């Protein structure tokens, strides 16, 4: 069995509470698998840092209901405990209805992909986190409302966060007595346990100093903050382990460092399952491309923060451009797209030359572009067939100073909340877009990419 740690809204402390539980279990020597609802990259980095196992995203919009179920079952194999961190508030989501829905819920208006939706899809109980910094007796009304809104969602208890004092806790506990709703834990205001953030959320783990000390503090906090007699029975996993069968590899270079670290663990797994050998390298510190590679994969991240360091590694930038011009299949999304532009213009209005394979610049701005997109392939390209439809997610504060005026270069079209939109670049053998894809929802893209890499290794021309 597994629990979902959900919040009554965003910002109530779900991530801190989830990390504290994970840290305590790992400190006790347990194998723990964690999951994150939705498309987020950074929260899973913290999960992975603590557990030593890749955190898995559960997102039926980017993938499918079937994929979410299969992923959850497969990744629970061979572990002692598992835990899911929700997204936003329990019932928060987006009004999306996918045509590939294989299971419908009657008598419900649950937003597709919300934490509540995942709870019902996987039949997993919920522990509700409530921010009590400005509450006392009203906590009972909040808990009662969440528990009664949808009787198909099983809320089995609450965790009270940001409790001010013993007296405050007594008032909260007294109010909850009328509901007969178990208290799974309570946390005081822990200012010293705040994780720093910036324009796209939390600062990634690779950039934080003393993270080990922070995790130790979380584990110590969890020891006394939670009712482990209630928690542990719900977290136990007894699924047997099934090993994967290795495949003959094709070498793919994965850019992974402080500038590029937004990768879904399932994306990397699927590449390996379909025959890729993954070679991780750094565009910041490595002065050459890895030897023997037949493809390049640039994920998202923060190239704008490390633009100066990326610029100074001129040998690598030249090698990347040369490889792409020679025909090496290349997949780049968001931060990877920015890196392949002529220049990046930072928040401070500094201009740094980048790889230069795309005839445009990436300029940082104040506006956040955020949301799921149903994208339609504008034409046949390296990885797509004209008219093909897939789901992705945008999350960035940059924009390109020049869109592709040549329609032959467009990858996608979609309808944003305000207008129709053409996006992405296909140039030679390059697929570059702001759209983040979860390969669990478009495995055909991975298959096509690896076929292209095989063609390249054999000296075959790419159309």
Instruction: Count other C-beta atoms under 10 Å from residue 258's C-beta.
Output: 18
352: region left, alpha or beta (phi > 0 left; psi from -120 to 50 alpha): beta
* CA distances from residue 407 to 311, 325, 424 in whole angstroms, order as listed: 30, 20, 11
Helix ranges (DSSP H) in 113-210: 115-122, 139-149, 166-177
Instruction: Report the distance separating Cα 157 and Cα 162, nearest Å.
Output: 17
Instruction: Report the distance separating Cα 221 and Cα 90, nearest Å.
Output: 25
Residues serving a catalytic function are: 334
3-class DSSP string for 117-137: HHHHHHCCCEEEEEECCCCCC
Q: Residue 205, SS3?
A: helix
Quick one: which H or E segment has residue 65? helix 65-75
Question: Do 120 and 153 touch, CB atoms closer than 8 A?
Answer: yes
- Could you give the strand order of the β-sheet that contains 81-89, starting from the edge strand earlier in sequence? 56-58, 32-37, 81-89, 3-7, 126-131, 155-163, 183-188
Pairing of strands 250-255, 410-415: unpaired
Instruction: Count other C-beta atoms under 10 Å from residue 260's C-beta.
Output: 27
Q: What is the DSSP string of 339-397?
A: HTEEEEE-TT--EEE----EEEEEEEEEEEEEEEEEEEE-S--SS--TT-EEEEEEEEE
Instruction: Report the distance separating Cα 413 and Cα 77, nearest Å.
Output: 39
Q: How many residues does the chain have?
A: 463
Instruction: Report the distance separating Cα 29 and Cα 19, nearest Å.
Output: 15
Instruction: Report the distance separating Cα 256 and Cα 281, nearest Å.
Output: 6
């Amino acid at each position: 069995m597994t629990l979902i740690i959900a919040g009554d809204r965003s910002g109530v402390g779900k991530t801190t509470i989830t990390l504290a539980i994970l840290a305590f279990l790992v400190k006790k020597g347990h194998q723990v698998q964690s999951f994150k609802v939705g498309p987020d990259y950074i929260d899973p980095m913290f999960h992975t840092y603590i557990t030593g196992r890749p955190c898995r995203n559960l997102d039926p919009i980017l993938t499918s209901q079937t994929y979410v179920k299969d992923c959850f079952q497969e990744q629970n194999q061979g572990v002692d405990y598992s835990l899911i961190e929700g997204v936003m508030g329990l019932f928060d989501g987006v009004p999306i209805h996918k045509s590939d829905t294989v299971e419908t819920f009657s008598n419900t208006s649950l937003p597709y992909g919300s934490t509540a939706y995942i709870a019902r899809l996987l039949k997993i109980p919920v522990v509700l986190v409530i921010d009590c910094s400005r509450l006392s007796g009203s906590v009972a009304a909040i808990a009662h409302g969440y528990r009664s809104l949808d009787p198909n969602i099983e809320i089995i208890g609450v965790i009270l966060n940001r409790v001010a004092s013993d007296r405050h806790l007594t008032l909260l506990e007294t109010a909850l007595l009328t509901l007969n709703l178990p208290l799974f834990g309570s946390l005081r205001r822990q200012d010293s346990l705040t994780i720093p953030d910036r324009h796209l959320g939390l600062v990634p783990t690779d950039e934080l100093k003393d993270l080990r000390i922070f995790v130790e503090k979380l584990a110590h906090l969890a020891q006394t903050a939670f009712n482990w007699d209630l928690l542990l029975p719900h977290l136990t996993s007894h699924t047997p382990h099934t090993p994967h069968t290795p495949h003959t590899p094709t070498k793919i270079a994965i850019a992974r460092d402080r500038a590029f670290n937004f990768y879904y663990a399932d994306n990397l797994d699927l590449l390996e399952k379909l025959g890729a050998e993954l070679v991780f390298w750094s565009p910041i510190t490595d002065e050459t491309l890895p030897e023997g590679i037949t493809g390049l994969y640039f994920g998202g991240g923060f190239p704008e923060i490390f633009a100066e360091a990326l610029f100074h590694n001129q040998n690598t930038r030249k090698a990347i451009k040369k490889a792409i011009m020679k025909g090496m299949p290349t997949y780049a999304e968001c931060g990877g797209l920015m890196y392949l532009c002529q220049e990046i213009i930072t928040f401070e209005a500094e201009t740094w030359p980048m790889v230069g394979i795309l005839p445009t610049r990436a300029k940082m701005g104040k506006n956040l572009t955020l949301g799921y997109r149903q994208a339609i392939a504008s034409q046949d390209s390296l990885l797509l067939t004209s008219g093909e439809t897939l789901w992705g997610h945008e999350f960035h504060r940059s924009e390109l100073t020049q869109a592709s005026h040549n329609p032959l270069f467009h990858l996608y079209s979609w309808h944003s909340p305000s207008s129709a939109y053409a996006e992405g670049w296909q140039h030679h053998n390059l697929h570059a877009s702001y759209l983040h894809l979860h390969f669990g929802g478009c495995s055909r893209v991975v298959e096509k990419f690896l076929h292209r890499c095989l063609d390249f290794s054999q000296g075959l021309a790419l159309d």
